[in-house]
């Protein structure tokens, strides 16, 4: 089947879509935003280099030379110490395809709506790749206990001070709070629920109190700063390990779905009654107890009752489930564990293809079918992220007094 460039979209309309795509992509980065993430020298890949992985060198600072030197004898030179970060670039992308029929029958410009959703998907997807690298850092602290399954306490000011201590030698961010009084040049990414817990137990300095001094240095998602000097970034996509913490109250049992359910479903049927739950939040899917990657078959839902047949609310646009789930999917009443990642500057290295660019690329819409009956909108990106140095980021794993619906 032949696939050709579309003739249905004029150059002017394509230009509008491209500008909107670029605008949306640039405003949705959290983990991959500069200066938390940066492209090092050698990080732009040209065609024909044949890299399946790329080792990026960087050089350590020299130690202070605080001894007196003789005027009669020469000094001994010191070696430059270097380190290497290996990053495996990969191809990422997504596409939607719309029939000519639905475009003609819809009262809205369905293709423009689809193009906007594709742009949001592009930036969120690349940011997820950066998030995966960020949460895999070596340094971490649990709110309580020695394992993730024991976590039940919210974020405390003491944990932020601990993070600042761990990151004392990390490169610092510019701007933000006045460095002479409070600022430490660090930033932390978290959900709204976590910052609400922190605000109940500590002093938060609102963004408006220091933004005017250097507005160009405000980070995407920055809402304020803590007295530890850590700037606070709020994102709905901050990592949550769903169902990974301790159990709720008297909830003791883990059940399974009696029947498979599709994404968007608003009811589920469990194998038996959920003990100690009543109405409230439960985790559906395989809980994330130890891994630090991205799991796409687990979500938090709200159940209207604890009976076998249950009406639910989920994080999908229609208020239902985000994912499909098989009949043996676990249903558990355990706390979410939030991964609050604290960064210095240049914590993540980013590499990308020279032709596609540092950001995802919107491809020209395609027309498919012998009757040109399908339009498609698509994006692609080739690159990857890696942790520059393990002393440049720190992960705090905490619970929250508030659950988060969805993924």
What is the full DSSP assignment across 33-102? Answer: -TTTEE--TT-EEPTT---SSEEEEEEPPPPP--S---SSSPPPP-PPPEEEEEE--EEEEEEEEEEHHH
The mean-pLDDT minimum among 173-182, 252-261, 317-326, 374-383 falls in: 173-182
Please check the confidence at residue 302 and state whether its pLDDT lies above 50: yes
337: CB partners within 8 A, 6+ apart:
148, 151, 240, 241, 244, 245, 288, 397, 398, 399
Report, as an integer, the average pLDDT of 372-386.
Answer: 86
Question: Lowest-pLDDT range, 10-14, 18-22, 242-246, 316-320?
Answer: 10-14
The string of pLDDT tens digits covering residues 143-198 is 987 899 999 999 999 999 999 999 998 988 875 444 433 455 899 999 999 999 99
> What is the residue-averaged pLDDT of the chain?
83
How far is Cα 15 from Cα 8, in angstroms, rounded to an integer?
14
Domain ranges of the chain: 7-57+85-137+347-387, 140-240+339-344+391-398, 247-334
pLDDT, tens digit (0-9, with 9 covering 90-100), for 88-116: 899 999 988 877 777 776 767 777 788 88
Alpha helices in 136-169 (DSSP H): 157-166
Task: Specify whether the CB–CB gap between 231 and 24 falls below 8 A.
Answer: no
Q: Which residues are 275's β-sheet partners?
A: none
Do residues 232 and 199 touch, judged by C-beta distance below 8 A?
no
pLDDT tens for 74-92 read 888 888 777 788 888 999 9
What is the CATH number that goes with domain 7-57+85-137+347-387? Answer: 3.30.2400
Cα 157 to the center of its chain, rounded Å: 23
pLDDT one-digit tens code per residue, 187-200? 999 999 999 999 88
Token look-up 């609050």 returns 340
The better pLDDT of the pair 130, 63 is held by: 130
Q: CA 97 to CA 406: how far, in whole Å?
A: 26
pLDDT for position 398 = 96
Regarding pTM above 0.95, the answer is: no
């Amino acid at each position: 089947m032949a696939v050709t460039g579309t003739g249905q979209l004029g150059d002017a309309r394509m230009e509008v879509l491209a500008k909107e795509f670029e605008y949306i992509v640039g405003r949705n980065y959290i983990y991959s935003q500069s200066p938390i993430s940066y492209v090092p020298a050698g990080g732009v890949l040209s065609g024909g280099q044949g890299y399946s992985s790329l080792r990026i060198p960087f050089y350590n600072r020299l130690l202070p030379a605080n001894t007196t030197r003789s005027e009669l004898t020469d000094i001994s030179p010191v070696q430059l110490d270097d380190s290497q970060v290996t990053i495996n670039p990969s191809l990422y992308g997504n596409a939607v395809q719309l029939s000519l029929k639905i475009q003609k029958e819809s009262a809205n410009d369905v293709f423009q709506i689809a193009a906007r959703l594709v742009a949001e998907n592009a930036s969120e997807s690349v940011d997820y790749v950066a998030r995966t690298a960020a949460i895999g850092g070596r340094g971490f602290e649990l709110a309580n206990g020695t394992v993730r399954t024991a976590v039940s306490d919210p974020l405390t000011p003491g944990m932020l001070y601990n993070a600042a201590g761990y990151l004392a030698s990390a490169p610092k961010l510019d701007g933000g709070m006045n460095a002479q009084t409070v600022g430490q040049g660090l930033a932390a990414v978290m959900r709204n629920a976590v910052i609400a817990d922190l605000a109940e137990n500590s002093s938060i300095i609102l963004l408006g109190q220091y933004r005017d001094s250097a507005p160009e240095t405000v980070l995407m998602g920055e809402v304020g700063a803590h007295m530890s000097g850590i700037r606070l970034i709020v994102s709905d996509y901050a990592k949550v390990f769903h169902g990974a913490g301790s159990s709720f109250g008297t909830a003791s049992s883990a059940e399974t779905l009696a029947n498979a359910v599709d994404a968007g479903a608003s009811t589920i049927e469990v194998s038996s009654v959920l003990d100690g739950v009543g109405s409230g939040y439960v985790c559906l899917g395989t809980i994330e107890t130890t891994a630090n990657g991205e799991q796409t078959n687990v979500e938090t839902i709200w159940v209207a009752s604890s009976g076998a047949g249950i009406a639910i609310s989920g994080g999908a646009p229609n208020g239902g489930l985000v994912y499909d789930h098989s009949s043996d999917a676990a249903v558990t009443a355990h706390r979410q564990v939030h991964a609050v990642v604290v960064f210095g500057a240049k914590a993540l290295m980013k590499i990308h293809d020279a032709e596609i660019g540092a950001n995802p690329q919107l491809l020209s819409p395609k027309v498919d079918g012998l009757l040109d009956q399908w339009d498609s909108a698509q994006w692609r990106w080739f690159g990857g992220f890696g942790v520059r140095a393990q002393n440049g980021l720190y992960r705090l794993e905490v619970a929250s007094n508030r659950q988060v619906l969805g993924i």
